Structure 1
Amino acid sequence: MAAGRLLAHEVADLCLGKPPLKSLSISATVRDALTVLKSIDDTHLSIWSCCHNYSSVSHQSFIKNDCQCIGKICMVDIICYLSKENNIKSPSLALDSPVSVLLSLDSVSVRHVDRATSLVEAIDLIIEGAQHLVVPISSRSTMNSRRKQSSLHQELSSFAPTTHSGGIEFCWVTQEDVIRFLLSSIALFSPTAAFSVESLGIISPDILTVNYDSPASSALGAIMTSLVDQTSVAVIDDDDGLLIGEISPFTLAYCDETAAAAISTLSAGDLMAYIDCGGPPEEIMNLVEARLKERNLKGMLDEFLAYSSGIPLIPSEFSSPSSSSSEDDEMSPYSSTMKANNRFSRSSSYSARITRRAEAIVCYPGSSLVAVMIQAITHRVSYVWVIEEDCSVVGIVRFSRMLEIFRAHLERMIN
C-alpha cells in the first residue's frame, strides 16, 4: 500500500512551497542578466522565448505556442563567459552581448512538463538528461509583490514577467527535489538504500580534474562542463594523485562577476582559496590586481578595483530586499553571506572536511547509498567525490546515477 502511494505521486507534489521562477527574455543582454541576478534572492534565471498574446487561450496552447522556457543561467555562466580571452580584455563590451551566448546548446537540459506528470515519468526525463523540469503552478502573488515586479519591469523592459498568461507561474523541479522526495520514503527502498555505492556500481571514474599548480584558466572548459553536468572540478596533486579540493560551480555561483579576473590570473589552487574561504584573502586580492596590471587588462582591472573598494557596479534602484525565510536560512549554507551592499559576496565554505587533506564533499567506496544521499542533500550539491583512505580519487557519485537505481527499484514495484 505504501509503495502504491509513492507511485501515485505527481510532479505537482514536488512543487509544494517552491517559489516561482525568476525569468528573463531571450531579447535581453548579458548585462541585463547580471543586473537581475544581483537583485534577486535566487542563483538562477530562467530564459524565455515569449510572444505575449494575452487573448483567451488554453493553458496548454499558451505554453506550447506563446511562451517557452529555453534555458537557465546563473552567475557562473557570466563568470566563465567573461573569463574567455577576448572578453577579459573588454568586459563592458562582452556584457552588451545577447544573453543567448550564455545558453547551453543542450536543449534537453530544460523540459516543460504538466503538473500531472507522474513521479516515475519525471525520473525518466532526468535520467534521459533533463536537469530542470519546468512545471506550471498557480499564481499566489500578492498585490504588493506585483507592484514591486511592475516597477522592476519598467526599469528593465527585457525582464519577462514571472506570471504569464492567465495568472500562470512556473517553478523548477530539480534532481535534488526528486532525491529529497525519495529520501522521505527511503524505507520503501530497503535493502537497496543500505548497499554501498561501490556494490551498486554507481561510481563514475569519468571525472573533471585540474592540477593544483596549473593555471585556473586551463580549467575553464572543465568548469563550464561541470556546470552543465551539475558536478565539480577536482583539484588534485599530480605527484600523488590525491584530492586536495575542488572548484565547484555551486560555490562559484555566489561570487561576483569579477571572479573572472581570478580565473584569468590565478593558479587552480589559489582560485580554490579565492572562492571557498568565506571571502578572498587580501594577499590573493593583491595578487589578482598585480597580474591584471601586468597583462594591461584595464577594463577588468577597473571592475575588480571597483569591487574591492565596495563601489556598487549596478544602480541601487535595481536592488530588491532579501526575503529569505528562517527555514531557507537553515537549509542554505550561503544564506547569511549571500548579499552584502546589494552585491553577491563570497559564500562561506561548504566543504565537508571529512579527511585531513581533501576539502570537498567526499565519501568512500563502502559508503551506503542513503548516507551519500544525505551527505549531498545536506551540502546542497548533486554529487559526492569517492576517495580511498589515502585521499586518492576513485570517482564521483551523481544524483542521476542514484536515480537510475531508484528507478529500477520502482520498476520492480510496478511489476
Structure 2
Amino acid sequence: MAVRLLAYEVADLCLGKPPLRSLSSSATVADALSALKSSDDSFISVWSCDHSGSLECECVCVGKVCMVDIICHLCRDENLSSPSLALKSPISVLLPEVKGSVRHVKPSSSLLEAIDLILEGAQNLVVPIKSGSTSNTRRKQLQKLSSSIAPTIHNGQEFCWLTQEDVIRFLFSSIGLFSQIATLSIDALGIISTEFFAVEYHRPASSAIKAISCSLLNQTSVAVVDEDGTLVGEISPFLLSCCDEKVAAAVMTLSAGDLMAYIDCGGLPEEVMKVVESRLKERNLKGMLNEFMISPCDGDISNSSYDEELPSPTTPLSRSGRYSRSSSHSARMLRQAEAIVCHPGSSLVAVMIQAITHRVNYVWVIEDDCSVVGIVTFANMLEVFRENLECMI
C-alpha cells in the first residue's frame, strides 16, 4: 500500500481540476481587478510569454494575484492620494519580490517531488492538464471570451493549479498509512510555529497592512488579540479576498477589530460608513474618498465626530464563557466568520480535519484561557509527512 502511495504522480492529484485563468505580465492592476470581478476564481495566474525568435513562444507562469494584493497596493502611502492612478500601475507591482511561490512541474513528477517544492516555498504548482491538445473547436470558443478571463492556453496546452490543500487532502485519504503519527499531538510532533502575525484589537487596521500582505504570501492569517494576548478573531486574507477594492477605505480608517467585523459581515452599518467617510476627509484622502465612497454623506459632518470612538460591531468578551475550551478540542470564536482553533494536545488528524473542513491552510493554537500559543500550517504538516514518506522508500 505504501508503495502505491509513492507511485502516484502529480497528474493523479490534478484529475478534474479546472484550467487556470490568466493575465499577461504586461497587464495593469486595473486589468487584474476587472478579471477578478468577472471570475469566480480567487486568484488569477500571471504569465510572461516570449514570442521572439522561435516557432513556439516560451511561456512561464510568474505568479498569481488576488483582491488582497490590490487592496494592499491601494493602501500604500504613495497610492492613497490617487487610487485611480494606482490602478494603472503594471501588474508586476502586485507580485512578490521573492520568486518561487509559483513553480512549473511535469505531470509525471512524483508526489515526493511536489511536497519538496512546497517545503521549499512554493504555494502553487503549475501543472499541464494531461488531456491532450486543446481541440480547434475548444480553442475557437475560448478565443471568443474576454482575454482577461480566458483559461490559459499556451502551445495548445491548458494548465491547472496544484495547491498545498490538494496535497494534504490526498494524504488524508491515505491517513491509515500514517497511523504512527496521525494520533500524536501537534505539540509532541513539534509542528506548532510560534512565529505568526498579530495585531491588537484597538490598533489602527492600517498598522496591519504589511502583516496582511505577508500572511497572504505565507497562506496564513493575522491574529486579532486583546491587550492580554487573548485571541479575539482574525483578519483573514481568504475572507478579505471576497471583498472588493472599496475595503481599502475601511483599512485606512477603522481599527483592527472593526475591520475584522467589516470583513466578516460584508460591510458595516450606514452610520459607521459615515464615520469612515469623515475620517477620510480628516486625513485629506480625497482620492480614496471620491473613488470608494458609494454614497456621500449629506451635509457637513461636524469635527466632533472625528474624535468620537468608532462604534464597534464586535466587543471582546471576558475570557470566561465565550473563550472557554471546547470539550471536543475544536473551540471556535463565536463570530460569523470564525477563527478555527485547536489546542497543543490536539491530534494531527483532528487538526487536519478542521483545516480541510473549513478550507483554510492553518489552524490557530490556543491555551485554555484562549491566549495564542502559535499556529499550525499545511506546510508544518507536510514536513512530518515528508519524513514518514522518506522511511517508506
Correspondence for 2:342: 363
Correspondence for 2:332: 354
Structure 2 counterpart SS, 1:89: coil
Which blocks of at least 5 consecutive residues in structure 1 are unaligned?
310-351
Q: Percent identity?
A: 66
Please give the per-residue CA displacement for 1:20-57, whole angstroms capped at 9, x wherever unaligned. 11111111111111111111110101111102479765
Question: Within the alignment, does 1:210 sit opposite 2:209 as a pair?
Answer: no
Task: Within 5 Å, give how 1:299-338 maps onto structure 2.
Answer: 299-306=287-294
CA gap of 1:108–1:264, structure 2 versus 1, over 3 A, is: same
1:83 equivalent among 75, 85, 109: 75
Question: Within the alignment, does 1:150 sit opposite 2:140 as a pair?
Answer: no
Residue 72 of structure 1 and its aligned partner are, at CA, apart by 0.7
Q: Is the 8 Å Cα contact of residues 353 and 359 (structure 1) preserved in structure 2?
A: no
Correspondence for 1:179: 168
Correspondence for 1:228: 217
TM-score (norm 1): 0.81
Task: Within 5 Å, give how 1:29-178 maps onto structure 2.
Answer: 29-52=28-51, 66-137=58-129, 138=131, 143=137, 146-147=140-141, 149-153=143-147, 162-165=152-155, 167-178=156-167
Correspondence for 1:338: none
For this pair of structures, how many residues does the alignment match? 358
Residue 185 of structure 1 and its aligned partner are, at CA, apart by 0.5
Residue 148 of structure 1 and its aligned partner are, at CA, apart by 5.5
Question: Within the alignment, does 1:25 sit opposite 2:24 as a pair?
Answer: yes
- Give, in whole Å, the separation in 1 of the partners of 2:52 and 2:109: 26
Residue 362 of structure 1 and its aligned partner are, at CA, apart by 0.5
Of residues 280-289 and 47-56 in structure 1, the stretch that sits farther from structure 2 once superposed is: 47-56
Residue 145 of structure 1 and its aligned partner are, at CA, apart by 8.2
- For residue 40 of structure 1, what is the amino acid of its counterpart? S
Residue 294 of structure 1 and its aligned partner are, at CA, apart by 2.1
2:179 equivalent among 187, 190, 194: 190
Of residues 215-224 and 279-288 in structure 1, the stretch that sits farther from structure 2 once superposed is: 279-288
Correspondence for 2:315: none
Correspondence for 1:335: none
- Give, in whole Å, the separation in 2 of the partners of 1:389 and 1:140: 55
Please give the per-residue CA displacement for 1:232-288, whole angstroms capped at 9, x wherever unaligned. 0100112x1100010010110111001111111111011001101244333432221
Please give the per-residue CA displacement for 1:121-176, whole angstroms capped at 9, x wherever unaligned. 100111111111111113568947853553413xx6xx7761111x2011111100
Residue 195 of structure 1 and its aligned partner are, at CA, apart by 0.7
Q: Is the 8 Å Cα contact of residues 234 and 246 (structure 1) preserved in structure 2?
A: yes
- Give, in whole Å, the separation in 1 of the partners of 2:386 and 2:142: 43
Residue 299 of structure 1 and its aligned partner are, at CA, apart by 2.0
- Give, in whole Å, the separation in 1 of the partners of 2:196 and 2:293: 35
Which blocks of at least 5 consecutive residues in structure 2 are unaligned?
298-329
Question: Within the alignment, does 1:293 sit opposite 2:271 as a pair?
Answer: no
Q: Is the 8 Å Cα contact of residues 362 and 377 (structure 2) preserved in structure 1?
A: yes
- Give, in whole Å, the separation in 2 of the partners of 1:235 and 1:252: 14
Correspondence for 1:9: 8
- For residue 192 of structure 1, what is the amino acid of its counterpart? I
Residue 305 of structure 1 and its aligned partner are, at CA, apart by 2.4
Please give the per-residue CA displacement for 1:189-246, whole angstroms capped at 9, x wherever unaligned. 11211111011000011111100000001001100100100010100112x1100010
- For residue 37 of structure 1, what is the amino acid of its counterpart? L
- For residue 290 of structure 1, what is the amino acid of its counterpart? S
- Give, in whole Å, the separation in 2 of the partners of 1:242 and 1:286: 30
- For residue 147 of structure 1, what is the amino acid of its counterpart? Q
- For residue 144 of structure 2, what is the amino acid of its counterpart? S
Structure 2 counterpart SS, 1:403: helix
Residue 292 of structure 1 and its aligned partner are, at CA, apart by 1.5
- For residue 352 of structure 2, what is the amino acid of its counterpart? M
- Give, in whole Å, the separation in 2 of the partners of 1:307 and 1:168: 46
Q: Comparing both structures, which one devotes a greater share of its residues to helix?
A: 1
- Give, in whole Å, the separation in 2 of the partners of 1:176 and 1:282: 38
- Give, in whole Å, the separation in 1 of the partners of 2:256 and 2:331: 19
Correspondence for 1:273: 261
- Give, in whole Å, the separation in 2 of the partners of 1:201 and 1:141: 50
Once superposed, what is the RMSD of the aligned Cα atoms?
Answer: 2.3
- Give, in whole Å, the separation in 2 of the partners of 1:141 and 1:41: 24
Residue 356 of structure 1 and its aligned partner are, at CA, apart by 5.8
- Give, in whole Å, the separation in 1 of the partners of 2:279 and 2:138: 47
CA gap of 1:144–1:269, structure 2 versus 1, over 3 A, is: same
